[in-house]
Chains A and B, each alone.
Chain A
Amino acid sequence: MNIDIISKAIQLLGFTYQIESPLIKSGQRKVYIASDLGSKKKVVIKISPPDPLSVPRIQREIKVLESLNSKYFPKILLDLYLSAEIVADLYDIDPIFRDNLFPVFITVEEYIHNTPWLENLDKMRDPDHLISFFIECFYALSQIWEKKIVHRDLKPPNILITNKFKPVIIDFGIAKSLRTDTQDITPVGFDSPKTWQFAAPEQIENRKDIDYRTDQYAIGILIFWALTGKFPFGRFDQLSPQEILINMKDKKYLVNIIDERPDLPEALTNLIRRLLEPQMYKRFRKPESIITALKNI
């Protein structure tokens, strides 16, 4: 769909958003940068087709973000379902919409001013900066874990680095609720969604007992990568998932962090190893224990 058509439809419905440029495309969902013509602030607009797979996912993601009123997560400014009835009404108002506008879900989120990871890597390689950044990260994650939600897709594109070098966590598209009385935010199936390079062993195995410690593993990989530029158990474009899984489970590090970074405090390398324990029960049980461990380095 043409972005000008969507902008026009949104404005006709009384909202002041003007889509400016595409940001990313994730599956069926398209993400755009837009302006709020009223406040003159940038926003992010996500547009998704109302198919049976996307709808529950979008609704639950909105629910998660709305429940998290925190500086560590973007705020939802608007969620709007452009239903078939609304689209038909718009056809009557302006014929330009005919054959150009279809039912869609529109979500407007706060835009987070951020700088790419690659621009921050030099700073991130410094243990003091890295520790202060990840302390904030674990503060953020403790807020979702407390709500029994696992993000399941922590990786650089989903942890924005603000201009003040603070994290903001985005994209709860594949998050999972651990509560037995709620449906999964996305269901765990035979091949549950994941980003392989940052996935924990239990995700690679498609185990259904994943929990918040699965996110700890992803952060372990991320810290390892930020400090060394390498992945501890191999790259998925070079080894098969089975080979990497065996390395993970046997704790067979293909990269020795001490060789790569002999300057790192032992307490930091120990903490990384604990985050990368193949057994969940050997990782941290309480987020505050990780934060304390980081502060004590």
Chain B
Amino acid sequence: MKIFHQAGHNTNWNIDSFRKDNSGDGIIFSPVHYPANNISRLPDKIKNQSLFDPQYYIPDSAKKKFETYPFFPGNYQEIFSTDDFVSCHACESARDCINFQIENDFDSIIIPARYFSDMFPDYIELQKTFSVEPFLGELKKINIEKNVFLTLPVTTAMIKHELYRTDLLNWVTSYPEIDGVYLLNEFPIIPKQISDLDMLIDYVNFIMEIQNADLCIICGYCNTEGLIWTIMDVYSATIGTYENTRRFSINKFLESETRVRGPIPRLYFPLLLNWIRIDEAVEIRDDFPEIWERIYLPTKHSEKQLVKERHHANHYEPYRHHLESINKQFEDLLMITSGLDRLNTLDDMISNAINLYKEIQSEGVQFRDVDSEGRHLYEWRRLLRYLRKKL
């Protein structure tokens, strides 16, 4: 199993984490955040371990960096029209996008797809004509050894609805020429850790059905729950810096990403399997050093962060700390060869995190918001019980 960085804003942090901290096996580059000439300038040894997500999710996205990619759908017309794109430009766009991925020698080819928030009855037809069949048609013309992944952006409602889910499964498994699926599920943004067991079970089952059809899965935009996907032997999970690389949301592809307030700075605590507000972390460190000893696993980045007076979103330290810490957790889990043993280890990690939270609470520490609490852990433990029956 591979661990890819889900790149986003400040992609250089991912690159530094990958190169300097040896975190991850490659990077999924994000054109909305990274212009084409930057991609071209990257060293080959980074690119040939990495992927390029063409991000056709909003084909007329006005985000500036898409303008640097001539094959991006919105660049073909002054006023974008899906019908015109499909009838006049889809094959050219597919050919040029494939060539871009080949010329840059990315590890695999990603076929993009549109994003639809609604359960349109013609979702599949729209995806087929817009990008999937033009890409497959162009790929057929060239002899290429690389793996091909089909992007599948879904919502939790799509995979919950039995008939819609079946249609999606019938569709993605209908292409013998692809090797895998780049799966993006738009889980709700709140809470920050996925705490809805039914949602998780639907997602797990969806993944398993795709895997049963001999397709690999790249689980895109993972947060800490990505550790659970190691049990299912997915092809890849991802690690990311900002929240919008750890939870798929279409907002970042829209022109004006609505941001009510800046994010509250948080630090990842691998032993708690969660992110804690930095101000709260500092309070625990100062007021309860014995607990701090038990919950804190330092990296050079976290050490550097914790001596700072203030945190700013442009400071890389908490993010590099997270990437390094969670990558280590992935590596430790992946050292274990059997899925069942991995599950048992993860179960122990969750139980340990629950116990640490109990200790924190018993000392009277009150977190200022629910996202620092460990409520998701109970649901994750139930998910593991469910998975145990499936293994």
Interface residues of A (CB under 8 A from B): 145, 179-181, 209, 211-213, 279-282, 285-287, 289
Contact = CB atoms under 8 A, between A and B. Distances in A.
B214 A289 contact: yes
B170 A280 contact: yes
19 contacts: A180-B125, A180-B128, A180-B129, A209-B124, A209-B170, A209-B171, A211-B170, A213-B174, A279-B169, A280-B170, A280-B173, A280-B174, A281-B213, A282-B209, A282-B213, A285-B174, A286-B176, A287-B176, A289-B214
A212 B173 CA distance: 11
Interface residues of B, number: 19
A287 B175 CA distance: 11
Contacts of A286: 176, 214
A282 B212 CA distance: 8
A251 B51 CA distance: 41
A287 B215 CA distance: 14
Nearest to B87: A181
B67 interface: no
Interface of B is mostly: helix
Interface of B: 124-125, 128-129, 133, 166-167, 169-174, 176, 209, 212-215
A279 B166 CA distance: 8
Contacts, number: 41
A281 B173 contact: yes
A281 B133 contact: no
A32 to B, nearest CB: 38
B161 to A, nearest CB: 15
Point out which of B124, B172, B213 has the most chain A C-beta atoms below 10 A from its C-beta: B213
Given A209-B167, A209-B170, A213-B174, A285 B215 contact: yes
A279 B171 CA distance: 11
Contact of A281 (B124, B169, B176): B169
Nearest to A287: B176
Contacts of B176: 145, 285-287
Nearest to B212: A282
Contacts of B174: 211-213, 280, 285
Given A180-B128, A281-B213, A282-B213, 6 more contacts: A180-B133, A211-B174, A279-B166, A281-B166, A281-B173, A285-B214
Nearest to B166: A279
A178 to B, nearest CB: 8
Nearest to A208: B125
A179 B137 CA distance: 10
Given A179-B133, A286-B176, A281 B209 contact: yes
Contacts of A209: 124, 167, 170-171
A276 to B, nearest CB: 16
Contacts of A287: 176
A215 B44 CA distance: 44
Contacts of A212: 174
Contacts of B133: 179-181
Nearest to A286: B176
A218 to B, nearest CB: 17
Contacts of A180: 125, 128-129, 133
A180 B135 CA distance: 13
B124 A285 contact: no
Point out which of A180, A212, A282, A285 has the most chain B C-beta atoms below 10 A from its C-beta: A285
B12 to A, nearest CB: 39
A117 B205 CA distance: 42
A24 to B, nearest CB: 33
A212 B175 CA distance: 10
Given A286-B176, A287-B176, A281 B170 contact: yes
A285 B213 contact: yes
A180 B129 CA distance: 7
Nearest to B209: A281
B125 to A, nearest CB: 7
A280 B170 CA distance: 6
A145 B175 CA distance: 10
A279 B214 contact: no
Contacts of B169: 279, 281
A140 to B, nearest CB: 16
A279 B163 CA distance: 11
A281 B129 CA distance: 21
Nearest to A288: B176
Contacts of A279: 166, 169-170
Contacts of B129: 180
A201 to B, nearest CB: 12
A286 B212 CA distance: 12
- 9 closest Cβ pairs, A-B complex: A281-B169, A281-B173, A286-B176, A285-B213, A280-B170, A211-B174, A281-B170, A285-B173, A180-B128
